[in-house]
Structure 1
């Protein structure tokens, strides 16, 4: 008895089978076990799915078999301990690429399986056997969902329909595992890249700050020379060189800060009000109700050092881009629920036009508006990087009455 699933021409057994199985965490380069330990976490739902398949078909045994180039690996099994056997001994390996569901009432009477060690009693004594290919959307067949018994059985059409549905569910679980492994791999690469970027930026910053500091030292000596007064032609040159040198030092510091944040996050319980007070002290601002900077008291699980950098950058931006029509005010507030914490930093400065709000979050982007203060274009990019390193997001909106409100979400840890 056979039930066609897809055309056989859509299937195949590619040369790179083991490499593709590695992407699903179902094979390792050494051929020993799963690709990564994290892949084992998805085995429990597969185990439950196999148990349901066996129960629906009224048989004691069920298994998800993955077929490599030379082995059959039982990644989830019910009624017996999962094991590994050679592909040559596998029953599923003989039919999983056929493009159809295989149903055998008595395997000992089927010429494909009569001499198989799972049938003869050498390994087992299978009689009833049903196997559904685990085919992905791309046409790659991972293996099969199989149910069997040591006695004869005849499943009805509804049971076989459910078995095929469960096979598709198994493929979806394995696809989810594949995407998770790909995401983890990409995250690992990003973290390695960030670490290398921080190391490189540190070296470059150190190598460039030395000559710059020397140049600025000689500039100061020249400015202090008794023969160079304000009317001397060199005075203007010293002033231009000094201003450019200090801007370069500030830029180097911003690049170093941008490259170093968002690496290893050390979450701790932190007080938003305490960190905001430290930022006010660093920037020389009055703090508290009725002052330039005010903050709610909120407890959140973040990296305190990076939260301080984030708030300091945002408050410094408010200082650099004030409104000419009103005294500067910055208000920091927040709210928490089971989803996480949202922090809002609202100023009453000149604001940012809606069409520019996404663009200014990119590194080295400045608007160059009349009256704007000096900046490297890395402040908001650094803040967004800190938010994303915590698994959150950063966005900009308009403050009621004028100005910019920065919204930072920090999701809850699970």
Structure 2
């Protein structure tokens, strides 16, 4: 699934963040160059060679995480409007990759927020749920999306049936993803969007398996 956040990433960062990212890349690039010098020096100790390889991998990971972190930091909420949350969900589920995800029927109240940012949040929650369920093997129940009402709040609940996790809270941080080439930006982005709306993102691991993500937003 191609993320709508890619469009956000392509936009220019605000000047202050762009300058800061440039300043951070300087010492990072210098560290990479000095690491290559050490590798060419002919280190023979096996432990030292392994440490150099690990250092190179971590520097490469950091280089990938920095732009992702700044893309999240640059997210800003536009003027809020009354948004039909179910319409946002159904729009994201029209993507071919989201086939099989079911929407639980019920009273879907409207929320107040930025429709573009909410679309990004729903995308990431659905993608994570699909990938988690698929990783658990065939025969698993497909993810579900539902909504609950609280005290002037609306909770969007995305439930997967994957292998679950021991510490769900630790999943909401950059670098948490164990998937090759991934930075873990998805849930960090969703949490950022939740906070921009005065809401929250929480993860829970039900006893029956899988993970339940709850995105809390202000009711319209």
* TM-score of the aligned structures, taking structure 2 as reference length: 0.61
Once residues 391 and 361 of structure 1 are traced to their aligned partners in structure 2, the CA distance between those partners, rounded to angstroms, is 17
- Cα separation, partners in 2 of 1:317 and 1:202, compared to 1, 3 Å: farther
Q: Which residue of 2 aligns with 1:259?
A: 73
Structure with higher helix content: 2
Once residues 139 and 65 of structure 2 are traced to their aligned partners in structure 1, the CA distance between those partners, rounded to angstroms, is 29
Once residues 64 and 116 of structure 2 are traced to their aligned partners in structure 1, the CA distance between those partners, rounded to angstroms, is 20
Query: Would you say 1:365 and 2:175 are equivalent positions?
Result: yes
Once residues 405 and 199 of structure 1 are traced to their aligned partners in structure 2, the CA distance between those partners, rounded to angstroms, is 38
Query: Would you say 1:342 and 2:155 are equivalent positions?
Result: yes
Query: Would you say 1:313 and 2:130 are equivalent positions?
Result: no
Query: 8 Å contact 1:344–1:405 — kept in the other structure?
Result: yes
| Per-residue deviation, residues 91-145 of structure 1 (Å, max 9, x unmatched) | xxxxxxxxxxxxxxxxxxxxxxxxxxxxxxxxxxxxxxxxxxxxxxxxxxxxxxx
Once residues 91 and 103 of structure 2 are traced to their aligned partners in structure 1, the CA distance between those partners, rounded to angstroms, is 12
Gaps of 5+ in 2: 1-11, 26-60
* TM-score of the aligned structures, taking structure 1 as reference length: 0.35
Q: Which residue of 2 aligns with 1:393?
A: 200
- The alpha carbon displacement at 1:380 in A equals 0.9
Once residues 295 and 306 of structure 1 are traced to their aligned partners in structure 2, the CA distance between those partners, rounded to angstroms, is 22
- Cα separation, partners in 2 of 1:278 and 1:309, compared to 1, 3 Å: same
- Cα separation, partners in 2 of 1:282 and 1:325, compared to 1, 3 Å: closer
Once residues 90 and 64 of structure 2 are traced to their aligned partners in structure 1, the CA distance between those partners, rounded to angstroms, is 24
Query: 8 Å contact 1:320–1:373 — kept in the other structure?
Result: no
Give runs of aligned pairs for residues 159-308 of structure 1, distance below 5 A: 198-199=14-15, 254-255=68-69, 257-261=71-75, 263-282=76-95, 284-286=97-99, 291-296=100-105, 297-308=108-119
Q: Which residue of 1 aligns with 2:217?
A: 410
- Cα separation, partners in 2 of 1:299 and 1:339, compared to 1, 3 Å: closer
| Per-residue deviation, residues 217-259 of structure 1 (Å, max 9, x unmatched) | xxxxxxxxxxxxxxxxxxxxxxxxxxxxxx9998677445412
- Which piece of structure 1 moves more, 395-404 or 378-387? 395-404
- Cα separation, partners in 2 of 1:268 and 1:400, compared to 1, 3 Å: farther
- Cα separation, partners in 2 of 1:351 and 1:273, compared to 1, 3 Å: same
Q: Which residue of 2 aligns with 1:144?
A: none
| Per-residue deviation, residues 31-74 of structure 1 (Å, max 9, x unmatched) | xxxxxxxxxxxxxxxxxxxxxxxxxxxxxxxxxxxxxxxxxxxx
Give runs of aligned pairs for residues 33-182 of structure 1, distance below 5 A: none
Give the structure, 1 or 2, with the largest relative contact order (CA under 8 Å, sep 6 or more).
Answer: 2
Gaps of 5+ in 1: 1-195, 209-246
Query: 8 Å contact 1:320–1:374 — kept in the other structure?
Result: no
Q: Which residue of 1 aligns with 2:56?
A: none
- Cα separation, partners in 2 of 1:292 and 1:343, compared to 1, 3 Å: closer
- Structure 1 or 2, whichever has the larger Rg, is 1
Once residues 116 and 63 of structure 2 are traced to their aligned partners in structure 1, the CA distance between those partners, rounded to angstroms, is 22
Secondary structure in 1 aligned to 2:98? coil
Q: Which residue of 1 aligns with 2:187?
A: 380
